[in-house]
Amino acid sequence: MKTSIRTNLVQAVNLTPQLLQQIRLLQLNAQQLELELQQTLARNPLLEQEEVADEAEDAGGADEAALEMAAWDELPDPAFLSGGHATGETDDATARIADEGSSDPRVRLLDQLALTWRPCELAMAAWWLDRCDDRGYLELPDGESPLQDLLAQGAAELSRPARELELVRQRLLHGDWPGMAAADVGECLHAQLMTQPDGPLRTLAQRILVHHLALLAAHDEAALAAELGVDATHVRAAVALILALRAHPVEAPAQERDGHIVPDVVAWHAGGSWRVALNSRTTPRVRIAPHCERALSGASGDHAVLKGMLDEARWLVRGLAMRNDTLLRTTQVLVERQRGFLERGDEAIAPLTLREVAEAIEMHESTVSRIVNGKYLQTPRGTFELKRLFAVRLEGAEIGGVAVRAMVKRLIDAEPVHAPLADDVIAGLLARQGIRIARRTVAKYRDQLSIGPVRARQRALARA
């Protein structure tokens, strides 16, 4: 048995209590920061809250704290702060602002299928999903056999047999998202029903969906029992199973709760330029009680506990100064880069990423990510989260998705009264302006704006 000695050189970051506290302060929103300070003030008698801001003292604190900035920016993303493990992944949502996942469920499904499907199958799946609305239902053309007409169209466009194209649709229909690319509600519910355990109850529910959908819609359980020749109790159980299914293949996004928002930063236009200031109501200031610091500095004897409290107080004051300085400088860059949006609206919002802001304030992207998370800006155009001022650049264009969505809205608002614009027509109009996007992207933006498809708008006009 041999013994040997090896030397390994490992590069690591020493996560001191000071650094951990400073990162925590960066991430806290206004309410969390207020709670944090209340707990610290109750625990540490050497701290007191300031009622009047001392700008000179704050500037000194920020300058001193800036010496530690390089140490922050070398830190990994803060999975350890939320109890995560150092796996190399991040739980910081704002770290993905510049490259976030698509909000279009059809795009997410395609990304998922790309892991197992062949390229030719993916092409056919993309064709089907391109003809689905955001709920997951096919947008069928008018005619006596709309599904067959759509199949013929797809076979011609993709140069694939119609049977092969329908097979891909069935795989979508009965795949990981049951009911996707369904032609109607019955087909969607039937696909979901097939995921339930096999048995008499499922068989009875299938018979109801296939042969007695009208009675199901009328909630006439007695008539269903008579038609099916079974006991009303069994019918009631089968109906309950059907009602437990989703009405749409794609679940509707959860609605955000309305709440009162107090902005962290305020921006206003004066003297031909935009100005930014921290909201004093959401930036509480604390300081070390002067008489306590003087007493401890000249005290003799063992005061280890009190000196520990003094160190904690100094770290907190320094961390707050750095947090406020970082928030202010980040917001100043955001307002400067997005002044077009603040003056003219969504169509003028410019593509902007975390990296661009980080380079402007000479910090790391993770620092910018932490400071904008959960922080709100009050402007003459309204109050909104700082993350809204970031915009992903569309491929091959000098414009972001938010601006394109605003353009889609403008085109629909200005469409001819008796000839609403279809999604592919809107895509064509945008292409003339150098903005090339797919029809399904137009449909996604239209649904985000709560605007119905062209046929729904035509029906609304006919009723009017």
Q: What does the block give as tokens for 71?
A: 């140490």
pLDDT mean over 402-420: 82
Domains of the chain, earliest start first: 12-100+261-294+302-392 (no CATH), 136-243 (no CATH), 401-463 (1.10.10.60)
What is the pLDDT, as a whole number, of residue 164? 93
Return the pLDDT at 299.
57
Contact 28, 39 (CB under 8 A): no
Answer whether residue 206 shows pLDDT above 70.
Answer: yes
Mean pLDDT of the chain: 76
The pTM of the full predicted model, rounded to 2 decimals, is 0.50
Note the pLDDT of residue 8. 59
Query: Does the pLDDT at position 12 exceed 70?
Result: no
Which H/E stretch holds residue 345?
Answer: none
What was the pLDDT predicted at 37? 80
Q: What are the start-end ranges of the H helices in 400-453?
A: 401-413, 423-432, 439-448
Give the per-residue pLDDT at 330. 94
CB 448, CB 441: distance < 8 Å:
no
N residues, the chain: 464
DSSP state of 393: B
Q: Residues 152-175: what's their mean pLDDT? A: 91
352, β-bridge pairs = 391
Cα–Cα distance for residue pair 229/235, rounded to 1 Å:
10
Lowest average pLDDT, out of 363-372, 419-428, 450-459, goes to 450-459
What is the reported pLDDT for 165? 93
Segment among 264-278, 298-312, 322-336, 371-385 with least mean pLDDT: 298-312
Backbone angles phi, psi at 391, to 5 degrees: -145, 135
Q: What is the pLDDT of residue 389?
A: 86
Whole-number pLDDT of residue 446: 83
User: Which pLDDT score is estimated for 293?
Assistant: 64
Residue 130: per-residue pLDDT: 83
Quick: pLDDT tens for 330-382: 999 999 998 888 888 877 788 888 888 999 998 888 888 888 888 899 998 88
Give alpha helix (H) positions in 92-199. 105-113, 119-129, 146-158, 162-173, 185-193
Please give the Cα distance from 227 to 239 (Å, whole number).
14
Q: DSSP secondary structure string, 259-303?
A: -----SEEEEEETTEEEEEE-TTTS-EEEE-HHHHHHHHT--S--
Scanning the structure block, which residue is given the tokens 């800006």? 377
pLDDT digits (tens, 9 = 90+) for 67-107: 444 444 444 444 333 333 333 333 343 334 434 445 567 77
Mean pLDDT confidence for 436-459? 79
pLDDT higher than threshold 60 for residue 124: yes
Q: How many helices (H) and strands (E) does the chain have?
A: 22, 6
Rg, Å, the chain Cα set: 30
